[in-house]
Amino acid sequence: MSEELAAIEHEDRGSKGRYVIRGAGGAEAEMTYSNVSEQLFIIDHTEVPDAFRGQGAGLRLVTRAVEDARVAGKKIIPLCPFAAAQFRRHPEWADVLNG
């Protein structure tokens, strides 16, 4: 049985940002994004190291971005293949999908 994953941290640096889960030994699962405008951002990369595999870390990161987009009234372009696959699996996220 795996440990419960740490809380997701959100780092926004203006034009770019990321959501990250930090683990023991310095491992980080992250999803990065680029802001296109005040109402639109692109999920461009998701990386989950082996230390987090099988724990749903990637899905948690994308889900958090979807939740934050809803609250802020933003839309998402999921260019990252993992994020795009999650949007296909979660039709209930259509409200924040750009397109």
Q: The CATH number of the domain where 82 resides is what?
A: 3.40.630.30
Cβ atoms of residues 44 and 10 within 8 Å: no
Per the listing, tokens 């994953």 go with 5
User: For residue 86, is it within any domain?
Assistant: yes
Q: Give residue 2's pLDDT.
A: 44
pLDDT in tens, 7-48: 999 999 999 999 999 998 889 999 999 999 999 999 999 999
User: For residue 4, is it within any domain?
Assistant: no
User: For residue 76, is it within any domain?
Assistant: yes
Domain holding 56, by residue range, is: 9-96
pTM: 0.92
pLDDT in tens, 43-68: 999 999 999 989 999 999 999 999 99
